[in-house]
Structure 1
Amino acid sequence: MVDESPFRAADGEQGQQGELFPDASLPDELVGYRGPAACQIAGITYRQLDYWARTKLVMPSIRTAHGSGSQRLYSFKDILVLKIVKRLLDTGVSLQNIRVAVDHLRERGVRDLAKVTLFSDGTTVYECTSPEEIVDLLQGGQGVFGIAVSGAMQEISGTIHEFPAERADGGEIEPVVRDELSERRNARRTG
Protein backbone atom coordinates (compact mmCIF):
# COMPACT_ATOMS: atom_id res chain seq x y z
CA MET A 1 0.00 0.00 0.00
CA VAL A 2 1.35 3.43 -0.94
CA ASP A 3 1.39 6.13 1.73
CA GLU A 4 -0.30 9.18 0.19
CA SER A 5 0.39 11.44 3.16
CA PRO A 6 2.27 14.65 2.32
CA PHE A 7 4.51 13.93 5.34
CA ARG A 8 6.51 10.75 5.49
CA ALA A 9 8.82 9.44 8.16
CA ALA A 10 11.73 7.56 6.67
CA ASP A 11 12.25 4.10 8.16
CA GLY A 12 15.39 3.23 10.06
CA GLU A 13 17.26 3.63 13.29
CA GLN A 14 17.41 6.82 15.32
CA GLY A 15 20.05 9.28 14.19
CA GLN A 16 23.48 9.53 15.71
CA GLN A 17 23.68 13.33 15.57
CA GLY A 18 25.32 15.12 18.46
CA GLU A 19 23.15 16.16 21.35
CA LEU A 20 22.11 19.80 21.19
CA PHE A 21 21.48 19.82 24.95
CA PRO A 22 24.26 17.57 26.28
CA ASP A 23 24.02 18.85 29.85
CA ALA A 24 20.29 18.08 30.13
CA SER A 25 19.52 21.81 30.10
CA LEU A 26 16.37 21.45 28.06
CA PRO A 27 14.40 24.64 27.64
CA ASP A 28 12.05 25.22 30.57
CA GLU A 29 8.45 24.54 29.57
CA LEU A 30 7.27 27.32 31.89
CA VAL A 31 9.45 29.98 30.27
CA GLY A 32 8.12 31.67 27.18
CA TYR A 33 8.41 34.65 24.91
CA ARG A 34 5.73 37.12 23.92
CA GLY A 35 4.59 37.43 20.32
CA PRO A 36 6.89 40.27 19.17
CA ALA A 37 9.97 38.46 20.54
CA ALA A 38 8.85 35.15 19.01
CA CYS A 39 8.51 36.92 15.65
CA GLN A 40 12.02 38.35 15.77
CA ILE A 41 13.58 35.08 16.93
CA ALA A 42 11.78 33.02 14.25
CA GLY A 43 12.18 35.62 11.51
CA ILE A 44 8.49 36.11 10.77
CA THR A 45 6.06 39.03 10.81
CA TYR A 46 3.52 39.59 13.55
CA ARG A 47 0.80 39.24 10.94
CA GLN A 48 2.06 35.71 10.13
CA LEU A 49 2.26 34.82 13.82
CA ASP A 50 -1.27 36.04 14.45
CA TYR A 51 -2.68 34.25 11.39
CA TRP A 52 -0.94 30.97 12.25
CA ALA A 53 -2.24 31.16 15.84
CA ARG A 54 -5.81 31.96 14.74
CA THR A 55 -5.81 29.13 12.16
CA LYS A 56 -4.21 26.79 14.73
CA LEU A 57 -1.18 26.07 12.55
CA VAL A 58 1.22 27.04 15.36
CA MET A 59 -0.41 27.92 18.64
CA PRO A 60 1.48 29.03 21.75
CA SER A 61 1.79 26.09 24.11
CA ILE A 62 2.42 28.12 27.26
CA ARG A 63 -0.33 30.74 27.11
CA THR A 64 -2.88 31.59 24.43
CA ALA A 65 -4.47 35.01 24.01
CA HIS A 66 -7.74 35.48 25.89
CA GLY A 67 -9.28 38.63 24.51
CA SER A 68 -7.96 42.10 23.95
CA GLY A 69 -4.79 43.01 25.81
CA SER A 70 -3.75 39.48 26.73
CA GLN A 71 -0.38 38.20 25.53
CA ARG A 72 0.42 34.88 23.94
CA LEU A 73 3.46 33.13 25.38
CA TYR A 74 5.51 30.90 23.06
CA SER A 75 7.88 28.17 24.27
CA PHE A 76 11.29 27.37 22.77
CA LYS A 77 9.69 24.47 20.86
CA ASP A 78 6.90 26.74 19.55
CA ILE A 79 9.49 29.20 18.22
CA LEU A 80 11.40 26.34 16.62
CA VAL A 81 8.24 25.18 14.84
CA LEU A 82 7.55 28.78 13.72
CA LYS A 83 11.05 28.92 12.20
CA ILE A 84 10.54 25.58 10.42
CA VAL A 85 7.16 26.68 9.05
CA LYS A 86 8.75 29.86 7.72
CA ARG A 87 11.52 27.88 5.99
CA LEU A 88 9.05 25.42 4.46
CA LEU A 89 6.88 28.28 3.17
CA ASP A 90 9.93 30.04 1.75
CA THR A 91 10.77 26.92 -0.26
CA GLY A 92 7.30 26.63 -1.76
CA VAL A 93 5.67 23.88 0.33
CA SER A 94 1.90 24.36 0.52
CA LEU A 95 0.31 25.41 3.80
CA GLN A 96 -1.78 22.21 3.72
CA ASN A 97 1.35 20.03 3.61
CA ILE A 98 3.08 22.18 6.22
CA ARG A 99 0.09 21.66 8.52
CA VAL A 100 0.54 17.86 8.29
CA ALA A 101 4.28 18.19 9.02
CA VAL A 102 3.64 20.52 11.98
CA ASP A 103 1.09 18.10 13.47
CA HIS A 104 3.74 15.38 13.30
CA LEU A 105 6.47 17.60 14.81
CA ARG A 106 4.22 18.62 17.72
CA GLU A 107 4.20 15.00 18.91
CA ARG A 108 7.97 15.02 19.46
CA GLY A 109 9.98 16.33 22.36
CA VAL A 110 12.74 18.91 21.91
CA ARG A 111 15.46 16.25 22.13
CA ASP A 112 13.76 14.17 19.43
CA LEU A 113 13.40 17.19 17.16
CA ALA A 114 17.16 17.79 17.32
CA LYS A 115 17.64 14.47 15.50
CA VAL A 116 15.31 15.30 12.60
CA THR A 117 16.15 16.61 9.16
CA LEU A 118 13.20 17.55 6.96
CA PHE A 119 13.40 17.21 3.19
CA SER A 120 10.88 18.20 0.58
CA ASP A 121 10.40 17.99 -3.15
CA GLY A 122 7.95 20.88 -2.94
CA THR A 123 4.97 18.58 -2.48
CA THR A 124 5.82 15.99 0.14
CA VAL A 125 7.75 16.61 3.35
CA TYR A 126 10.00 13.73 4.42
CA GLU A 127 11.48 13.19 7.87
CA CYS A 128 14.94 11.64 8.18
CA THR A 129 16.59 10.77 11.49
CA SER A 130 19.83 9.18 10.28
CA PRO A 131 22.46 9.78 7.60
CA GLU A 132 21.44 6.49 5.97
CA GLU A 133 17.85 7.68 5.57
CA ILE A 134 19.06 10.90 3.97
CA VAL A 135 21.22 8.99 1.49
CA ASP A 136 18.35 6.60 0.68
CA LEU A 137 15.98 9.51 0.12
CA LEU A 138 18.40 11.37 -2.13
CA GLN A 139 19.32 8.24 -4.10
CA GLY A 140 15.63 7.70 -4.76
CA GLY A 141 15.48 11.18 -6.27
CA GLN A 142 12.99 12.39 -3.67
CA GLY A 143 14.40 15.34 -1.75
CA VAL A 144 15.19 18.69 -3.29
CA PHE A 145 16.01 20.72 -0.19
CA GLY A 146 16.51 19.95 3.45
CA ILE A 147 16.07 21.62 6.82
CA ALA A 148 18.25 20.33 9.66
CA VAL A 149 16.11 20.97 12.71
CA SER A 150 19.19 20.93 14.96
CA GLY A 151 20.63 23.81 12.89
CA ALA A 152 17.47 25.85 13.41
CA MET A 153 17.66 25.02 17.13
CA GLN A 154 21.23 26.27 17.32
CA GLU A 155 20.27 29.50 15.54
CA ILE A 156 17.46 30.08 18.02
CA SER A 157 19.65 29.14 20.99
CA GLY A 158 22.22 31.69 19.84
CA THR A 159 19.77 34.60 19.79
CA ILE A 160 16.93 33.76 22.17
CA HIS A 161 18.81 34.97 25.27
CA GLU A 162 18.78 38.50 23.80
CA PHE A 163 15.00 38.70 24.27
CA PRO A 164 13.01 39.11 27.48
CA ALA A 165 11.55 35.83 28.71
CA GLU A 166 8.62 35.41 31.02
CA ARG A 167 7.56 32.58 33.33
CA ALA A 168 3.99 31.34 32.94
CA ASP A 169 3.73 30.82 36.71
CA GLY A 170 4.81 34.41 37.44
CA GLY A 171 8.11 33.34 38.99
CA GLU A 172 11.35 35.21 38.53
CA ILE A 173 13.81 34.32 35.81
CA GLU A 174 17.41 34.40 36.88
CA PRO A 175 19.40 36.53 34.45
CA VAL A 176 22.22 34.76 32.68
CA VAL A 177 25.29 36.97 32.54
CA ARG A 178 27.78 35.58 30.08
CA ASP A 179 30.72 37.87 29.81
CA GLU A 180 34.34 36.80 29.67
CA LEU A 181 35.40 38.65 32.81
CA SER A 182 32.68 37.03 34.96
CA GLU A 183 33.55 33.61 33.60
CA ARG A 184 37.25 34.10 34.45
CA ARG A 185 36.39 35.25 37.99
CA ASN A 186 34.12 32.23 38.52
CA ALA A 187 36.82 29.92 37.16
CA ARG A 188 39.39 31.35 39.63
CA ARG A 189 36.99 31.00 42.58
CA THR A 190 36.11 27.40 41.80
CA GLY A 191 39.52 26.34 40.47
Structure 2
Amino acid sequence: MRITGDGTTGGIPVRSEAGPYPLRGGAGAARRQPESTPVAAAGGEPAPEQVGYRGPTACAAAGITYRQLDYWARTGLVEPSVRPAYGSGTQRLYSFRDVVVLKIVKRFLDTGVALQNIRTAVQHLHDRDFADLERMTLMSDGATVYECTSSDQVVSLLQGGQGIFGIAVGVVWRDVEKALSQLHGERVDTGETVVGHNPADELAARRNRAV
Protein backbone atom coordinates (compact mmCIF):
# COMPACT_ATOMS: atom_id res chain seq x y z
CA MET A 1 0.00 0.00 0.00
CA ARG A 2 1.05 3.58 -0.46
CA ILE A 3 0.76 6.26 2.19
CA THR A 4 0.48 9.68 0.60
CA GLY A 5 -0.91 11.72 3.48
CA ASP A 6 -3.80 13.12 1.42
CA GLY A 7 -6.28 10.41 2.36
CA THR A 8 -6.81 9.27 -1.23
CA THR A 9 -7.62 5.65 -1.93
CA GLY A 10 -7.98 3.97 -5.29
CA GLY A 11 -7.82 0.34 -4.30
CA ILE A 12 -4.94 -1.97 -3.55
CA PRO A 13 -2.05 -2.13 -6.02
CA VAL A 14 -1.22 -5.54 -7.43
CA ARG A 15 1.74 -7.09 -5.65
CA SER A 16 4.87 -7.46 -7.71
CA GLU A 17 8.33 -8.72 -6.92
CA ALA A 18 9.69 -6.16 -9.40
CA GLY A 19 9.31 -3.26 -7.01
CA PRO A 20 8.23 -2.25 -3.51
CA TYR A 21 4.59 -2.30 -2.48
CA PRO A 22 3.46 1.25 -1.59
CA LEU A 23 0.89 1.56 1.19
CA ARG A 24 -2.36 3.41 0.61
CA GLY A 25 -4.78 4.34 3.36
CA GLY A 26 -8.53 4.75 3.37
CA ALA A 27 -11.44 2.46 2.61
CA GLY A 28 -9.50 0.54 -0.03
CA ALA A 29 -7.20 -1.03 2.56
CA ALA A 30 -7.59 -4.76 3.02
CA ARG A 31 -8.96 -5.94 6.31
CA ARG A 32 -7.16 -8.63 8.24
CA GLN A 33 -9.15 -11.81 8.69
CA PRO A 34 -9.83 -12.86 12.28
CA GLU A 35 -7.01 -14.93 13.66
CA SER A 36 -7.53 -18.48 14.82
CA THR A 37 -8.37 -19.16 18.43
CA PRO A 38 -5.16 -19.10 20.50
CA VAL A 39 -3.94 -22.36 21.93
CA ALA A 40 -1.68 -22.87 24.89
CA ALA A 41 1.97 -23.43 24.16
CA ALA A 42 3.78 -26.62 25.10
CA GLY A 43 4.29 -27.18 28.80
CA GLY A 44 1.16 -25.30 29.81
CA GLU A 45 2.60 -21.87 29.00
CA PRO A 46 0.07 -19.46 27.46
CA ALA A 47 0.45 -18.65 23.76
CA PRO A 48 1.54 -15.08 22.94
CA GLU A 49 -2.00 -14.26 21.81
CA GLN A 50 -3.29 -15.23 25.27
CA VAL A 51 -1.16 -12.67 27.09
CA GLY A 52 -1.82 -8.94 27.43
CA TYR A 53 0.48 -6.23 28.76
CA ARG A 54 -0.37 -3.20 30.88
CA GLY A 55 0.68 0.30 29.89
CA PRO A 56 3.95 0.54 31.85
CA THR A 57 5.08 -2.84 30.51
CA ALA A 58 4.21 -1.88 26.94
CA CYS A 59 6.16 1.37 27.37
CA ALA A 60 9.24 -0.44 28.67
CA ALA A 61 9.25 -2.94 25.80
CA ALA A 62 8.55 -0.33 23.09
CA GLY A 63 10.96 2.30 24.44
CA ILE A 64 8.35 5.05 24.80
CA THR A 65 7.03 7.18 27.64
CA TYR A 66 3.67 6.64 29.30
CA ARG A 67 2.66 10.10 28.11
CA GLN A 68 3.22 9.02 24.52
CA LEU A 69 1.32 5.79 25.09
CA ASP A 70 -1.64 7.64 26.60
CA TYR A 71 -1.71 10.26 23.86
CA TRP A 72 -1.55 7.70 21.05
CA ALA A 73 -4.39 5.72 22.64
CA ARG A 74 -6.59 8.79 23.15
CA THR A 75 -6.03 10.00 19.57
CA GLY A 76 -6.59 6.55 18.09
CA LEU A 77 -3.09 6.16 16.68
CA VAL A 78 -2.35 2.94 18.58
CA GLU A 79 -5.19 1.65 20.71
CA PRO A 80 -4.95 -1.41 22.97
CA SER A 81 -6.61 -4.31 21.18
CA VAL A 82 -7.01 -6.53 24.25
CA ARG A 83 -8.73 -4.10 26.62
CA PRO A 84 -9.27 -0.33 26.39
CA ALA A 85 -9.54 1.85 29.49
CA TYR A 86 -13.12 2.15 30.76
CA GLY A 87 -13.16 5.17 33.04
CA SER A 88 -10.95 5.65 36.07
CA GLY A 89 -9.42 2.63 37.75
CA THR A 90 -9.29 0.40 34.67
CA GLN A 91 -6.06 -0.65 32.99
CA ARG A 92 -5.42 -0.74 29.25
CA LEU A 93 -4.16 -4.10 28.07
CA TYR A 94 -1.99 -4.33 24.96
CA SER A 95 -1.33 -7.39 22.82
CA PHE A 96 2.11 -8.46 21.62
CA ARG A 97 1.28 -7.11 18.15
CA ASP A 98 0.27 -3.76 19.72
CA VAL A 99 3.66 -3.43 21.40
CA VAL A 100 5.47 -4.19 18.14
CA VAL A 101 3.41 -1.46 16.44
CA LEU A 102 4.18 0.99 19.27
CA LYS A 103 7.91 0.47 18.76
CA ILE A 104 7.59 0.94 14.98
CA VAL A 105 5.55 4.14 15.45
CA LYS A 106 8.26 5.50 17.75
CA ARG A 107 10.92 4.86 15.10
CA PHE A 108 8.87 6.48 12.35
CA LEU A 109 8.17 9.56 14.44
CA ASP A 110 11.85 9.88 15.36
CA THR A 111 12.75 10.03 11.65
CA GLY A 112 10.11 12.64 10.77
CA VAL A 113 7.62 10.51 8.83
CA ALA A 114 4.27 12.32 8.45
CA LEU A 115 1.63 11.35 11.03
CA GLN A 116 -0.98 10.54 8.36
CA ASN A 117 1.45 8.11 6.77
CA ILE A 118 2.15 6.52 10.14
CA ARG A 119 -1.59 6.07 10.75
CA THR A 120 -1.95 4.18 7.48
CA ALA A 121 1.12 2.07 8.27
CA VAL A 122 -0.40 1.21 11.67
CA GLN A 123 -3.62 0.08 10.01
CA HIS A 124 -1.63 -1.97 7.52
CA LEU A 125 0.30 -3.70 10.30
CA HIS A 126 -2.93 -4.57 12.12
CA ASP A 127 -4.47 -5.92 8.90
CA ARG A 128 -1.65 -8.36 8.14
CA ASP A 129 -1.19 -11.86 9.52
CA PHE A 130 1.60 -12.67 11.96
CA ALA A 131 3.53 -14.64 9.31
CA ASP A 132 3.50 -11.62 6.98
CA LEU A 133 4.87 -9.25 9.61
CA GLU A 134 7.91 -11.34 10.41
CA ARG A 135 9.29 -11.08 6.87
CA MET A 136 8.15 -7.52 6.12
CA THR A 137 10.34 -4.43 5.77
CA LEU A 138 8.78 -0.97 5.87
CA MET A 139 10.67 1.70 3.95
CA SER A 140 9.98 5.43 3.91
CA ASP A 141 11.35 8.47 2.10
CA GLY A 142 9.42 10.74 4.49
CA ALA A 143 6.52 11.27 2.09
CA THR A 144 5.59 7.65 1.33
CA VAL A 145 5.83 4.36 3.20
CA TYR A 146 6.41 1.15 1.26
CA GLU A 147 6.15 -2.51 2.17
CA CYS A 148 9.04 -4.62 0.91
CA THR A 149 9.02 -8.41 1.14
CA SER A 150 12.26 -9.12 -0.72
CA SER A 151 15.79 -7.79 -0.83
CA ASP A 152 15.31 -6.84 -4.50
CA GLN A 153 12.47 -4.50 -3.55
CA VAL A 154 14.63 -2.85 -0.88
CA VAL A 155 17.46 -2.38 -3.39
CA SER A 156 14.98 -0.91 -5.89
CA LEU A 157 14.08 1.84 -3.42
CA LEU A 158 17.65 2.53 -2.42
CA GLN A 159 18.63 2.98 -6.06
CA GLY A 160 16.22 5.92 -6.32
CA GLY A 161 18.95 8.18 -4.99
CA GLN A 162 16.88 9.75 -2.20
CA GLY A 163 17.06 9.36 1.54
CA ILE A 164 15.34 6.16 2.64
CA PHE A 165 14.64 4.90 6.16
CA GLY A 166 13.87 1.23 6.69
CA ILE A 167 12.40 -0.86 9.49
CA ALA A 168 12.73 -4.63 9.40
CA VAL A 169 9.54 -5.62 11.20
CA GLY A 170 10.91 -9.06 12.03
CA VAL A 171 13.86 -7.50 13.88
CA VAL A 172 11.52 -5.24 15.87
CA TRP A 173 9.35 -8.30 16.55
CA ARG A 174 12.28 -10.20 18.06
CA ASP A 175 13.44 -7.17 20.08
CA VAL A 176 9.97 -6.81 21.61
CA GLU A 177 9.71 -10.55 22.19
CA LYS A 178 13.00 -10.52 24.11
CA ALA A 179 12.00 -7.46 26.16
CA LEU A 180 8.56 -8.83 27.07
CA SER A 181 10.02 -12.20 28.07
CA GLN A 182 11.67 -10.38 30.99
CA LEU A 183 8.53 -8.47 32.01
CA HIS A 184 5.21 -9.44 33.52
CA GLY A 185 2.10 -10.00 31.43
CA GLU A 186 -1.48 -10.92 32.17
CA ARG A 187 -3.47 -13.88 30.87
CA VAL A 188 -6.38 -12.61 28.81
CA ASP A 189 -8.68 -15.47 29.81
CA THR A 190 -8.06 -15.64 33.57
CA GLY A 191 -6.35 -12.36 34.51
CA GLU A 192 -3.53 -14.38 36.06
CA THR A 193 -0.11 -12.67 36.13
CA VAL A 194 2.44 -14.21 33.79
CA VAL A 195 5.83 -13.76 35.39
CA GLY A 196 8.64 -12.85 33.02
CA HIS A 197 12.06 -14.44 33.13
CA ASN A 198 14.82 -11.97 33.81
CA PRO A 199 18.31 -13.54 33.72
CA ALA A 200 19.60 -10.79 36.03
CA ASP A 201 17.00 -11.72 38.65
CA GLU A 202 17.97 -15.39 38.43
CA LEU A 203 21.67 -14.52 38.84
CA ALA A 204 20.88 -12.42 41.91
CA ALA A 205 18.86 -15.27 43.39
CA ARG A 206 21.76 -17.69 42.88
CA ARG A 207 24.16 -15.26 44.56
CA ASN A 208 21.84 -14.90 47.53
CA ARG A 209 21.64 -18.67 47.90
CA ALA A 210 25.43 -18.91 47.81
CA VAL A 211 25.84 -16.41 50.65
Counterpart residue identity of residue 68, structure 1: S
Q: After superposition, give the CA deviation of every residue in 1:24-68 in whole Å (9 maximum; x if it has no partner).
A: 999522211100110010001111111111111111111111110
* % identical equivalent positions: 56
Question: What's the offset of the Cα at 1:97?
Answer: 1.1
Q: How far apart are 1:170 and its partner, in Å?
A: 1.4
Q: How does 1:1-191 map to 2 (within 5 A)?
A: 5-6=3-4, 11-12=16-17, 28-141=48-161, 144-170=164-190, 172=192
Matches of 1:100 and 1:47 in 2, distance apart?
A: 22
Distance 2:104 2:196 in 1: 27
TM-aligned CA distance change 1:36 to 1:6, over 3 Å = same
AA paired with 2:107?
R
Higher relative contact order (CA 8 A, sep 6+): 1
Q: CA deviation at 1:88?
A: 0.2
8 Å CA contact 2:81, 2:95 repeated in 1:
yes
User: Structure 2 length as normaliser, TM-score?
Assistant: 0.70
| 5+ residue gaps, structure 1 | 14-23, 180-191
Number of aligned pairs? Answer: 168
Query: C-alpha root-mean-square deviation of aligned residues, in Å?
Result: 2.8
What SS does the aligned partner of 1:29 have? Answer: helix
TM-score between the two structures when normalised by the length of structure 1: 0.77
Amino acid at match of 1:12: E
Matched residue SS, 1:166: strand
Asked if 2 retains the 8 angstrom alpha-carbon contact of 1:53 and 1:59, the reply is yes
- Is contact 1:120–1:142 with CA below 8 Å preserved after alignment? no
Alignment partner, residue 20 of structure 1: none
Partner of 2:30: none
Q: Cα distance, 1:161 vs. partner?
A: 1.3
- 1:69 Cα offset (Å): 0.7
